């Protein structure tokens, strides 16, 4: 048979069959993201078009409801639908990433019990998957901008940087939440409530100027407001996000990463006993 | 001994198990929610009784050795394998494992049942650490070894457990890992595939490039495949020596 002959030839003892340990995780993450992607759209007629349609439909509803109430409050918002869309898409990037990242370790239990694989791969992969989806929702952004003739300036080139900051922030949260959720499943429900409250506290579909003065100052410490502002400034206001916003975005990303890494690293050896 | 171990630690395929103990805290209940936890905490009911699944186990395995692991149910064999595979970390002691591991602990772990067999081969390959190009090149050989040419585009949920086992075994042994861990994996397949697997394992054993760690309840199989045998009983290392000797001692204990 063929396999007796092939055992003596090169592939069997091929030391080049394996990635060195450092590159392994990257390929595993890639495979997992592509798995999620395939499964998300398998047997759906419109498939990946949903990633574009979803934010678009959401924006239509919100624009219809809120434009009359909200727009007049802040003449500085030059285009309300784009304002909404940029806020909502960035928000769903964070909420998808953290919700799915949070449960990633629990869902990967059958794997973690039998195969040695670095555990951080799972929460990080979920964040990357959310980033991929965000990239598709940018098609919706582009469509809406084209409809309104709102052409981007050179500042739009900073968008990837903003998304990068946001992704780092999400990775930190996902690491933290996934570790906590292993020990206390309540965290999953709590986070859902927390996300809803946080969403209303973030100027996504209203302008920050309608808030009382003290809340506006507190808003500087709402990380999501900073990330959304970054993205809106480069795409909608076509301006430099500003040093303060940069610093805030980086600061929250690093703080979240540090906390997430610390908790995850401290507890990951005990995951297997609880999943 | 320490110097010998230091030398051994650098060779791919070597395993050094140094004074390993594994303690599980058996809680009287499992606390899955904060409320339960705090109630138990406030009532001082958060007691655990320690259970030693493994106690002060030490042994080392040289590259290319084939070692059987025997012991009655619940004696700690699987815990030992999981520690060596890096899935569990020991409570005390250290385990040093060198090289690429192909774990066959419960076949089909690392498969997603919604994906097709083809997609699963790539996913599982990634988890084993294979390069993408390597899987590309050897895809056909994996399929041939599993003898499932006609089912590659079928989602894995429609596979029988034996078919899943075939694919898992084919992926893990398509090349020579430094260390192959087999945990009663062969019991699922049909007789012909079991024989084929055993032949493949023997091939890997004879190549002398692969360290094989083999758990089986069949004393005969251990004697056939392995040259050395380690007997773990109730968490303690009972005997370590030539396969025939240890396996026979184990078989006689049982009666």
- Which tens digit of pLDDT belongs to each residue from A132-141? 999 999 999 9
Two structure tokens written together for B112: 């997603």
**pLDDT band, very low/low/confident/very high, at B85 (cuts 50, 70, 90):** confident
Q: How many CB atoms lie within 10 A of CB B254?
A: 8
DSSP state of B156: G
Which of B 137-196 lie inside 8 A of A, CB atoms?
137-138, 141, 144-145, 174-176
Mean pLDDT, range A96-107, rounded to an integer: 96
pLDDT for the residue A273:
83
> Which of A6-15, A86-95, B76-85, B196-205 is most confident?
A86-95
Mention every residue, 6+ apart, whose C-beta is less than 8 A from residue A77. Answer: A71, A83, A207
**pLDDT band, very low/low/confident/very high, at A16 (cuts 50, 70, 90):** confident
Q: Which residues of B touch A103 (CB under 8 A)?
A: none
B35 pLDDT higher than 80: no
Q: Say if residue B17 is exposed, middle or buried (CB neighbours under 10 Å; 0-12, 13-18, 19+).
A: buried
Looking at the complex, report in whole angstroms how far the Cα of residue B211 sits from the nearest Cα belonging to chain A.
13
**pLDDT band, very low/low/confident/very high, at B30 (cuts 50, 70, 90):** low
Q: Find the Cα–Cα–Cα–Cα dihedral A71, A74, A76, A80, rounded to 10°.
A: -20
Residue of A193, A164, A203, A206 lying closest to A95 (CA atoms): A193
List C-alpha distances in Å: A211 to A55, A88, A203, A256.
26, 19, 9, 27
Rounded Cα distance, B128 and B180, in Å: 11
Residues in chain A: 275
Q: What percent of chain A has pLDDT over 90?
A: 64
Q: What percent of chain B has pLDDT over 70?
A: 89
Check B134 against A28: CB less than 8 A apart: no
Rounded Cα distance, A209 and A275, in Å: 46
Asked if residues B215 and B35 have their Cβ atoms less than 8 Å apart, the reply is no
B38 pLDDT higher than 90: no
Check A116 against B132: CB less than 8 A apart: no
Rounded Cα distance, A105 and A102, in Å: 7
Mean pLDDT, range A245-268, rounded to an integer: 97
Q: Find the Cα–Cα–Cα–Cα dihedral B77, B245, B227, B54, rounded to 10°.
A: 20
Least confident of A145-149, A163-167, A200-204, B21-25: B21-25
A9 pLDDT higher than 60: no
Tell me the Cα Rg of chain A. 22
pLDDT averaged over every residue in chain A: 89
pLDDT averaged over every residue in chain B: 85
Residue B201 φ/ψ, nearest 5 degrees = -65, -45
Per residue in B157-190, pLDDT tens? 898 888 888 888 899 888 888 999 888 766 777 8
Mean pLDDT, range B75-90, rounded to an integer: 88
* More confident site: B58 or A2: B58
pLDDT for the residue B5:
66
Test the B interface: residue of A4, A12, A271 with most B CBs within 10 Å: A12
Residue of A230, A103, A254 lying closest to A156 (CA atoms): A230
* More confident site: B42 or A257: A257
pLDDT for the residue A200:
94
Residue written as tokens 């690429």?
B100
pLDDT for the residue A11:
44
pLDDT for the residue A6:
39
* Residue B110 forms contact with A (CB below 8 Å): yes
Please report how the helices A186-201 and A80-107 are oriented relative to each other, as an axis angle in degrees rounded to 10. Answer: 170
Check B86 against A21: CB less than 8 A apart: no
pLDDT for the residue B185:
62
Least confident of A128-142, A255-269, B99-113, B151-165: B99-113
A249 pLDDT higher than 50: yes
**B4-11 long-range contacts, CB within 8 A, separation 24+:** B5/B60, B8/B60, B8/B62, B9/B96, B9/B98, B10/B98, B11/B62, B11/B63, B11/B98
How much is the pTM?
0.87
Per residue in B121-133, pLDDT tens? 999 899 888 999 9
Which of B 223-252 lie inside 8 A of A, CB atoms?
none
* Residue B105 forms contact with A (CB below 8 Å): yes
Asked if residues A120 and A264 have their Cβ atoms less than 8 Å apart, the reply is yes
Two structure tokens written together for A231: 């993205």
Least confident of A63-72, A138-147, A215-224: A63-72
Rounded Cα distance, A94 and A10, in Å: 47
Least confident of A161-165, A249-253, B117-121, B192-196: B192-196
Check B127 against A11: CB less than 8 A apart: no
Q: Which residues of B touch A19 (CB under 8 A)?
A: 129-131
């Amino acid at each position: 048979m063929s396999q007796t002959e092939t055992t003596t030839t090169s592939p069997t003892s091929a030391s080049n069959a394996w990635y060195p340990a450092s590159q392994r995780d990257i390929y595993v993450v890639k495979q997992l993201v592509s798995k999620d992607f395939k499964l998300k759209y398998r047997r759906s007629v419109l498939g990946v078009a949903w990633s574009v349609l979803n934010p678009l439909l959401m924006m239509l509803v919100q624009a219809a409801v809120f434009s009359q109430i909200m727009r007049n409050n802040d003449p500085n918002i030059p285009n309300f639908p784009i304002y909404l869309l940029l806020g909502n898409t960035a928000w769903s990037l964070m909420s998808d990433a953290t919700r799915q990242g949070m449960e990633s370790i629990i869902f990967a239990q059958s794997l973690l019990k039998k195969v040695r694989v670095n555990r951080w791969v799972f929460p990080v992969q979920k964040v990357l998957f959310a980033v991929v989806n965000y990239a598709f929702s940018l098609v919706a952004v582009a469509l809406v901008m084209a409809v309104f003739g709102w052409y981007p300036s050179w500042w739009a080139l900073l968008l990837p940087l903003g998304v990068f900051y946001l992704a780092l922030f999400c990775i930190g949260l996902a690491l933290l939440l996934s570790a906590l959720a292993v020990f206390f499943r309540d965290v999953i429900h709590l986070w859902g409530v927390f996300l809803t409250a946080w969403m209303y506290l973030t100027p996504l579909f209203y302008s920050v100027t309608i808030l009382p003065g003290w809340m506006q100052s507190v808003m500087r410490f709402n990380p999501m407001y900073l990330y959304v502002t970054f993205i809106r400034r480069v795409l909608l206001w076509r301006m430099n996000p500003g040093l303060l916003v940069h610093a805030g975005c980086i600061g929250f990303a690093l703080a979240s990463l540090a906390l997430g890494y610390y908790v995850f690293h401290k507890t990951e050896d005990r995951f297997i006993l609880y999943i | 001994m320490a110097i010998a171990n230091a030398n051994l630690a650098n060779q791919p395929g070597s395993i050094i198990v140094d004074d390993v103990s594994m303690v599980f805290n058996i809680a009287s209940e499992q606390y899955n929610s904060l409320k339960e936890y705090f109630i138990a905490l406030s009532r001082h009911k958060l007691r655990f009784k320690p259970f030693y699944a493994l106690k002060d186990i030490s042994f080392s395995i040289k590259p290319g050795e084939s070692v059987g692991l025997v012991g009655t149910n619940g004696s700690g064999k699987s815990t030992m394998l999981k520690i060596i595979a890096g899935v569990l970390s020991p409570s005390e002691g250290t385990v040093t494992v060198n090289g690429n591991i192909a774990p066959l602990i419960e076949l089909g772990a690392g498969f997603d049942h919604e994906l097709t067999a083809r997609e699963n081969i790539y996913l599982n390959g990634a988890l084993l650490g294979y390069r993408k190009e390597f899987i590309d090149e050897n895809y056909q050989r994996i399929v041939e070894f599993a003898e499932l040419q006609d089912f590659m585009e079928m989602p894995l949920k429609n596979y029988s457990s034996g078919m899943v086992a075939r694919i898992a075994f084919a992926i893990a042994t398509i090349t020579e890992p430094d260390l192959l861990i087999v945990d009663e994996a062969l019991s699922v397949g049909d007789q012909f595939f079991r024989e084929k697997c055993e032949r493949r394992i023997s091939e890997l054993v004879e190549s002398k490039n692969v360290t094989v760690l083999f758990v089986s309840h069949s004393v005969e199989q251990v004697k056939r495949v392995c040259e050395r045998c380690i007997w773990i009983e109730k968490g303690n290392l009972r005997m370590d020596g030539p396969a025939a000797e240890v396996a026979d001692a184990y078989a006689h204990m049982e009666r």
